[in-house]
Amino acid sequence: MRLGIIGAGAIGERHAAAAEQVGARVTRIVDKSPERAASLAAKHDAVADVDADTLWDDDALDAVAICVPNFLHHPLALKAMRAGKDVLLEKPMALSAIDCAELADVAEQSRRILQIGYTHRFTAVGSAAHDYIATGALGDIYHAKAHLHLRRGIPGLGGWFTNKALSGGGALIDLGVHLIDLVLYLLGQPRAVSVSGKAYSKFGVKMKDYVYESMWAGPPNYSGTFDVEDHATAMIVFDSGATLDLQVAWACNLPTGTAPDSMIAILGDRGGVAFELFGDHLLLRNQVAGRNADCKMSLAPAEQMELQMEDFMTAVRTRRPGIGATPLEGQKVQLIVDSIYESSNTNVPVEQ
């Protein structure tokens, strides 16, 4: 597979490295910053450009990985698919479920592979939890918890991450989408029928008062914009009857040590499984020989970026989706996100 990378920032670099590791050829790098494009291109012996439109006529290019700020996902993915390229599109799929639906339609009409970058399906814990749940060991699954609490983790304060027009939102659309996708994946893709949620903006709005320890995509730009949420909470009811309790924060005052930074827990009437998002083991609860038992499944590390790229490459070769999120699955995540924002604004649940 000959791959172009659009956006040579933090994740673009990781996709390029993963592609080389799994035997794809990175032939084109685009970034609006000529320095970034040239620097990453030099590492991969690729051609550098500042404008993605230079890619579409390159017949030797099979696919692109789109790794630019969120507001560019929809227009660039449309252009790429219409030019006959398969697409690995970073999350979130787009800024709204309506835009996701258009992408899904175009992928189908143009017969392009469009895979959304929900990498947590490929972590050691994510894939082991999926395989364990698929054995049926949990029985009837009735509830899931998905929590991720960064204490002071707002990215790029005042940059594109915190500007709603460019990002579509804050902690929810940046990190919450990973949690939602992972739970949908683990639960076998149920459909949300009721969503109530609240989005809070408590830390980033007071830009100068925000005391942080680290900041990816930093340093802060105090003359920039912060008009997104730094914490979101939601309760989602699925058509299966199961519920999801979602908590995601870029910043919050949850004292360190009172709860793990992240936890995914899936509860069934016969068993349960819980793990940390970046953990190296699953905790399982079940009955063994008529007794309640807790046990720990230790896992070898997994290179999720490489596994994701390998899965994408296989999908491109076989013309069939693999483990990675399909357009309709990406759209489903976005519909829940849209509903949480709507419910937060109206203070009533959104029924679907």
Ligand X SMILES: NC(=O)c1ccc[n+]([C@@H]2O[C@H](COP(=O)([O-])OP(=O)(O)OC[C@H]3O[C@@H](n4cnc5c(N)ncnc54)[C@H](O)[C@@H]3O)[C@@H](O)[C@H]2O)c1
Which of 5, 68, 88, 265 contacts ligand X by CB under 6 A? 68
Length of the chain: 352
Return the number of the residue (223 or 347) whose C-beta is nearest ligand X. 223
**Residue number, 219 or 241, with CB nearest to ligand X:** 219
Confirm or reject binding of residue 144 to ligand X (CB under 6 A): no
Any contact of residue 119 with ligand X (CB under 6 A)?
yes
- The yes or no reply on residue 3 touching ligand X (CB under 6 A) is no
Q: Which stretch binds ligand X (CB under 6 A): 67-75, 181-189, 222-230, 324-332?
A: 67-75
Joined tokens for residue 139: 């029985």
Rule CB under 6 A: is residue 9 a binding residue for ligand X? yes
Q: Is the sign of the CA dihedral 323, 327, 332, 336 positive or negative?
A: positive
With CA atoms as reference, report the closest residue to 71 among 180, 169, 205.
169
Q: How far apart are CA 48 and CA 32, in angstroms?
A: 10
Query: How far, in Å, CA of 255 to CA of 224, rounded?
Result: 29
Would you tell me how many other CB atoms lie within 10 Å of the CB of residue 321?
18
Give the CA count within 13 Å in the CB-facing half-sphere of 238. 19
Nearest to ligand X by Cβ — which residue?
9
46 lines the binding site for ligand X (CB under 6 A):
no
Which CB, 4 or 272, lies closer to ligand X?
Answer: 4
| Closest distance to ligand X from the beta carbon of 46 (Å) | 14
Q: Is 91 in the site for ligand X (CB under 6 A)?
A: yes
CA-based diameter of the chain, in Å?
A: 65
Q: Which residues bind ligand X (CB under 6 A)?
A: 6-12, 30-33, 36, 52, 67-70, 72, 90-91, 117, 119, 174, 217
